[in-house]
Structure 1
Amino acid sequence: MAKIRKANESQEDGKPRKKFKKESPHKKKDRKQGKEQGKDGKTDSPAESTEKWSKSKKKRMRKILGKLKKEQAEGKTSQSAPSATSSTDASSTNSLAASATTETGTKKKNSIQEAFKARLAGSRFRILNEELYTTTSQKSYDKFKENPELFEQYHEGFRHQVESWPENPVDVMVRSLTSTYHKNAKHQTTGPCVVADFGCGDAQLAKDLLAVKKKIKQKGKNIREENSFEVHSFDLVSPNELVTACDMADVPLKDKSVDVCVFCLSLMGTNLADFIREAHRVLKDSGRVKIAEVRSRIEYSHGRKGKKNSSNNKESSSSSGNKDADVTSKEKTEGTLEEFTDVLKKLGFQCVRTDRSNTMFLLLDLKKNGKKPDKDLEFSAKPCIYKRR
């Protein structure tokens, strides 16, 4: 009866029903595996999935691959280029983020280390600077001779400090010397201008002056070029071939052999009078002394002149009482600078020019006044003492 019923139903529809063949077990198994693969979203060959990508995704992948290859060529990353699959797309993004984080962390670490090194160099400079101000030049020379690395540590801190100043005093000295030389070149007979740089550091003044050349002419034609300056550089340590290591109170130069003596922030130590007397010895009668010194050391503090004078100054200051408190800052500046120039007069020099245009240091030009330096005079400017924290 069932067979008859099925036949009647097919006849009513007007369409004969399909007869399905029984599916083999192997085909059934393959079909099930295909469905499972479709659910997992995995494929056997990456090439088939790549072909199914949209144009925008392919473009994005090409950019990522190009960027990674470029970074590998520049040595910025050691990650290998990912294959063109969705799983490697995620891994490449993570690797880029990780490398960027690493670079940021490294830069931050380096900046902290540099700041720490700068503070350490600054503290070393301050300690050495204070020692140079408060000891004699002979003791400083002996100490730096035993430990020459201190010289580089000191000048590293000095260069860092001068960078924050409006102008480097060495550059000012170079301009002053070259302009003076060109003015006097017509009256100069023969030979270069001889300069003695007391406390030269790394001899930057000598490097700049030796680069200045003059042309020797004969019958209107340039024959050759010669140095306009001959520079003798002295300091506690010789960092290069231009510098002679010595005590500035005793330099290896002949009497009256120098045209210009330079003290560029180098009046350090408790025996400054010895430096000035030595400059007087090596300087020609027509020579000049050029001084660049920190303004606070000369303008805003009284120096110490000899043993007797220092005791007299103490008595006079104590007896004056509140009178010193009523003195204006301008009078103090003039008084202390006058005191310094008075010391220079007793040491055989007269101040012919003062330049206070710079906020950090002042410039003095001296010439011989015809008097012999006082052998017993002692003088020291205000030392730079730093607060302990």
Structure 2
Amino acid sequence: MFAVPGWSVSSSALKQQTEPQSQAQNEQKQDETPKPGAKSNKRKRGKENVTKGNVDEMFRRVIEGQESKTDKKRKKDPKPKEGSGLEKSQPVNTSEVGDAGKGNKRKNKRKDKAKDKPQTEEGKSSAVEEANSLSSAPPPTTTAILTPLQQAMRQKLISARFRHLNETLYTTPSSQALELFDKNPEFFQEYHSGFARQVKESWPSNPVDGYIKSIKTRGAIHSAPKRSGSQPDASSRPQLRPLPRRPNGLCTIADLGCGDAHLARSLTPSAKKMKLKLQSYDLQAPDPLITKADIANLPVEDGSVDVAIFCLSLMGTNWVSFVEEAWRVLRGDGKGECWVSEVKSRFGKITRKKAQIGAKKAPTKAELKKLKKAKRGGGNNDGDDSDVEDAEIYAEDARPQEGADETDISSFVEVFRTRGFILKPESVDKSNKMFVRMEFVKQGGAPSKGQHASLAAAGTGKKKFIDKVPVGGNMTPDEEAKVLKPCVYKIR
């Protein structure tokens, strides 16, 4: 071969090949303890090597979890001494020392997970209970300043909850409503708060205010001194007749389904002067004036009440039993009164036969007299005879007159009649566009239907002949319960 300039290598530059050191020799060099004061050129990796000299200390510290003397000294004096080589280095992480440190770390993680697991389950169960409680609790009050949009949304939520409670009260028996309010007493306050908003925002007037005024007026008649010729007899003015009273002058008024006891709170200041005993009953008693009770089963003695008031409180599907209970507690001498106010939409409309609509208008008395006189005198009009005959069969036009109220209370009155009450015709008031007011008087005899009907009278076999069967006299219990429709708001 020939030599190429620049590519030839002299033998003097060659070095003898040496074998790489074995792993055992490397470990032996690492095990050698450095001399004190000698500086190491190796890069520090933040780990401590396990040697024969420190294996016992490392075992106690890492495996058994005991603190070494060095660790205790570091806690007392965190500043390292000069010359120790730790002034600039980071703190040693003993949890990562060798494989033993890694295994210990895994065990610690498992223990932490085992400890955290039951706490997580408890947290989940408590969260579920809290969610259930929040779903049934009323919307919380807040003192935060809300934007107009937030205020509107909050008001819609409160109104929706009120409508739901209102529908529940109208479509369930009173016993279930009592059970509902027993489990959730806050519902009672929430419902009547929504009711108060409806009265303030939508109603032209509150029927309770009319009853308060009537009681004050009639109570003043009894307490006013009698003067000859100063005022006419109260019996000649039914609207100013005195309240029914006992021989001692006391009048007991029971507000059945009182709500927030507005009537009792308004009359209590003057009750002693007018000799009134006020009793208020409802499904909850948030006020000392209210007695908690189902008005289908009152804690009242028979015949101990003079006036019973149902002001928008015939709400349950068993409202007929409320009427029967009012008959039981009212006095039975023909003076016990039952006052009722109800929403017009709960009653039906007056129905008319098709043949009645468009019938001829009945002649006036003057016209009828003229026709009869013409018939007797043999008038020249050929149609006189037919006109007189037609006058006897004229039917009044049954179409509703302008401004006439079409609310039909006949079936409702019949339910009261069969339960021992008589309607006062002059007391019926339909002037309010939303409500109907009426007053009944308890009869002296037993009712013909219901739980207080006289069994002895039913077993005599005697038939009572009447000229005309009242409307609804043969209604079944289900038909009677449907006489009043539930007052349910439209779903929005």
**TM-score normalised by length of structure 1:** 0.59
Find the aligned partners of 1:324 and 1:281 in 2 and give their Cα distance.
42
Aligned to 2:316: 269
Aligned to 1:172: 210
Cα shift at 1:153:
1.2
CA distance 1:191–1:301, shift in 2 (3 Å): same
Aligned to 1:209: 267
Aligned to 2:23: none
CA distance 1:153–1:296, shift in 2 (3 Å): same
Find the aligned partners of 2:300 and 2:339 in 1 and give their Cα distance.
18
Amino acid at match of 2:450: K
Aligned residues of 2:219 and 2:274 also touching (Cα < 8 A): no
Find the aligned partners of 1:347 and 1:372 in 2 and give their Cα distance.
8
Q: Which structure has more helix as a fraction of its residues?
A: 1
Aligned residues of 1:292 and 1:362 also touching (Cα < 8 A): yes
Aligned to 2:328: 281
Give the 3-state SS of the residue equivalent to 2:286 in structure 1. Answer: coil
Cα shift at 1:148:
0.8
Aligned to 1:230: 277
CA distance 1:155–1:369, shift in 2 (3 Å): same
Of structures 1 and 2, the larger Rg is shown by: 2
Aligned residues of 2:169 and 2:177 also touching (Cα < 8 A): yes
Amino acid at match of 2:423: C
Amino acid at match of 2:257: G
Amino acid at match of 1:243: I
Aligned to 2:436: 362
Aligned to 1:140: 177
Q: Note if 1:343 corresponds to 2:401.
A: no
In the TM superposition, what whole-angstrom CA distance separates every residue of 1:348-384 from its partner, at most 9, and x where no partner exists? 1111010112111111111013342311663331002
Find the aligned partners of 1:249 and 1:279 in 2 and give their Cα distance.
9
Find the aligned partners of 1:367 and 1:274 in 2 and give their Cα distance.
17
Cα shift at 1:284:
0.9
In the TM superposition, what whole-angstrom CA distance separates every residue of 1:263-300 from its partner, at most 9, and x where no partner exists? 11101011111000000000012111111111111244
Higher relative contact order structure (alpha carbons within 8 Å, sequence separation ≥ 6): 1
Find the aligned partners of 2:313 and 2:274 in 1 and give their Cα distance.
26
Give the 3-state SS of the residue equivalent to 1:250 in structure 2. Answer: coil
Find the aligned partners of 2:356 and 2:175 in 1 and give their Cα distance.
36
Amino acid at match of 2:490: K
CA distance 1:385–1:182, shift in 2 (3 Å): same
Aligned residues of 2:344 and 2:407 also touching (Cα < 8 A): no
Find the aligned partners of 1:351 and 1:162 in 2 and give their Cα distance.
28
Amino acid at match of 2:170: Y
Aligned residues of 2:350 and 2:406 also touching (Cα < 8 A): no
Find 1:199's aligned residue among 246, 257, 264: 257
CA distance 1:350–1:147, shift in 2 (3 Å): same
Find the aligned partners of 1:334 and 1:211 in 2 and give their Cα distance.
40
Once the two structures are superposed, the pairs formed by residues 94-109 of structure 1 within 5 Å of their partners are 109=146
Aligned to 2:344: 295
Amino acid at match of 2:443: N
Find the aligned partners of 1:329 and 1:132 in 2 and give their Cα distance.
34
**TM-score normalised by length of structure 2:** 0.48
CA distance 1:127–1:283, shift in 2 (3 Å): same
Number of residue pairs the alignment of both structures matches:
255
Give the 3-state SS of the residue equivalent to 1:180 in structure 2. Answer: helix
Cα shift at 1:110:
4.0
Cα shift at 1:328:
4.9
Find the aligned partners of 1:289 and 1:356 in 2 and give their Cα distance.
17
Q: Gaps spanning 5+ residues in structure 2: where? A: 1-143, 225-241, 359-397, 452-475
Cα shift at 1:190:
2.4
**Identity across matched positions, percent:** 39
Aligned residues of 2:350 and 2:407 also touching (Cα < 8 A): no
Find the aligned partners of 2:175 and 2:209 in 1 and give their Cα distance.
29
Q: Note if 1:372 corresponds to 2:446.
A: yes
Find the aligned partners of 1:273 and 1:288 in 2 and give their Cα distance.
17
Aligned residues of 1:210 and 1:227 also touching (Cα < 8 A): no
**Pairwise CA RMSD:** 2.9
Find the aligned partners of 2:356 and 2:167 in 1 and give their Cα distance.
28
Find the aligned partners of 2:338 and 2:488 in 1 and give their Cα distance.
27
Cα shift at 1:130:
0.9
Once the two structures are superposed, the pairs formed by residues 115-154 of structure 1 within 5 Å of their partners are 115-154=152-191
Amino acid at match of 1:290: W
Find the aligned partners of 1:159 and 1:246 in 2 and give their Cα distance.
22
Q: Which structure has more strand as a fraction of its residues?
A: 1
